Amino acid sequence: MPSASRKKIDEYSVLIHPYVTEKTMNAMSGTSRQNLRDGNRLEFVVRMEATKGQIKEAFEKRFEVKVDKVNVKIRSDGKHAIIKLKEGFSAEDIGVRIGVI
């Protein structure tokens, strides 16, 4: 029997909503100080029980992109996932599609 943390979560319920602040907007394109190398990232509030692998899988299926890396942090307003896309995919394009830009 799978443990509670390993249960299959519906890919459409993993990502709750995008988290949009000035800092996360800069993370989409990168900062000039880092020569735009630190960009191509989006931040989402996700289900607390979702694992990095489940977040990556759900994001790739939902937006038809490839994810390079997922970092998570637990905050008072929930679990946040910072999703870095692989080279060749654009966080700004996804931002436009979901209406944050």
Q: What is the pLDDT of residues 30-67, one digit of tens each?
A: 766 666 566 899 999 999 999 999 999 999 999 999 99
The pLDDT confidence band at residue 17, using thresholds 50, 70 and 90, is: very high
User: What's the confidence (pLDDT) of residue 1?
Assistant: 45
Domains and their CATH numbers in the chain: 8-98 (3.30.70.330)
What pLDDT, on the 0 to 100 scale, is given for residue 31?
67
Mean pLDDT over 15-42 rounds to: 82
Contacts of 12 (CB under 8 A, 6+ apart): 58, 62
| The pair of three-digit structure tokens given for residue 16, joined into one six-digit string | 């709750």
φ/ψ bin of 7: left (φ > 0), alpha (ψ from -120 to 50), beta (otherwise): beta
Task: Give the Cα separation of 13 and 92 in Å (integer).
Answer: 23
15 forms bridges with which residues in the sheet? 46
Tens digit of each residue's pLDDT (9 = 90 or more) over 61-91: 999 999 999 999 999 999 999 999 999 999 9
